[in-house]
Amino acid sequence: MASKPISLGLIGTGIVAAGPYRKALERSTAVKAGGLFDPDAAKASALAEALEVRAYPDLDALLSDASIDAVAVLSPNHLHVDIALRSLRAGKHVLVEKPVAETVEEIEQLEAAAQRAGKVCMPAHNYIYNPSLIRAKRLIGEGRLGTVASGWILYNIFHPEEIACHYGGVLREVCVHHAYSLLFLLGKPAKVSAQLSRVHYHELTCEDQAMLTCTMPGGALVHLWASFAASDPTSDPWTVVYKILGTNGGIAYTWDDARYDDTGGPAWGIPNYLDGFYQELEFFVTQAIRNGETPLSTLADARDAIRIIEAAESSVAKAGTSVEVHY
Ligand SMILES: NC(=O)c1ccc[n+]([C@@H]2O[C@H](COP(=O)([O-])OP(=O)(O)OC[C@H]3O[C@@H](n4cnc5c(N)ncnc54)[C@H](O)[C@@H]3O)[C@@H](O)[C@H]2O)c1
CA of 73 to the centre of ligand 1 (A): 8
The CATH number that applies at residue 68 is: 3.40.50.720
Backbone angles phi, psi at 273, to 5 degrees: -70, -50
Please write the tens of the pLDDT for every residue from 244-294.
Answer: 999 999 999 999 999 999 888 778 899 999 999 999 999 999 999 999 999
For residue 91, being part of any structural domain is answered with yes
Measure the CA–CA gap between 158 and 220, rounded to whole angstroms. Answer: 29
pLDDT recorded at residue 185 = 98
Mutate which of 21, 59, 60, 97 for ligand 1 pocket (most atoms within 8 A of beta carbon): 97
Mean pLDDT (whole number) for 100-118: 97
Q: How many domains is the chain built from?
A: 2
Could you tell me which of 163, 93, 150 has the C-alpha nearest to residue 123? 93
Q: What is the mean pLDDT of the chain?
A: 96
For residue 290, being part of any structural domain is answered with no
Residues near ligand 1 with C-beta < 6 Å? 11-17, 37-40, 43, 59, 74-77, 79, 97-98, 124, 126
Same domain for 153 and 99, yes or no, is no
CA of 260 to the centre of ligand 1 (A): 25
Q: Provide the Cα torsion 197, 202, 206, 211; round to 10°.
A: -30
CA of 147 to the centre of ligand 1 (A): 40
CA of 91 to the centre of ligand 1 (A): 22
| Domain boundary, last residue among 85, 109, 124 | 124
Measure the CA–CA gap between 77 and 172, rounded to whole angstroms. Answer: 10
Distance of CA 56 to the CA centre of its chain: 26
pLDDT recorded at residue 3 = 82
pLDDT recorded at residue 200 = 84
Same domain for 175 and 271, yes or no, is yes
Same domain for 138 and 205, yes or no, is yes
Q: Is the pLDDT of residue 314 over 60?
A: yes
Mean pLDDT (whole number) for 48-71: 98
pLDDT recorded at residue 39 = 98
pLDDT recorded at residue 2 = 65
Measure the CA–CA gap between 161 and 97, rounded to whole angstroms. Answer: 22
Same domain for 105 and 150, yes or no, is no
Range of the domain at 188: 128-277+305-324
Q: Is the pLDDT of residue 142 over 90?
A: yes
Mean pLDDT (whole number) for 139-154: 98
Per-residue pLDDT band at 75 (split at 50, 70, 90): very high
CA of 12 to the centre of ligand 1 (A): 6
pTM: 0.97
Shortest-distance Cα residue to atom 4 of ligand 1:
16
Mean pLDDT (whole number) for 69-98: 98
Shortest-distance Cα residue to atom 3 of ligand 1:
126
Measure the CA–CA gap between 93 and 295, rounded to whole angstroms. Answer: 13
Q: Are strands 121-124 and 93-97 parallel, antiparallel or unpaired?
A: parallel
Same domain for 202 and 259, yes or no, is yes
For residue 140, being part of any structural domain is answered with yes
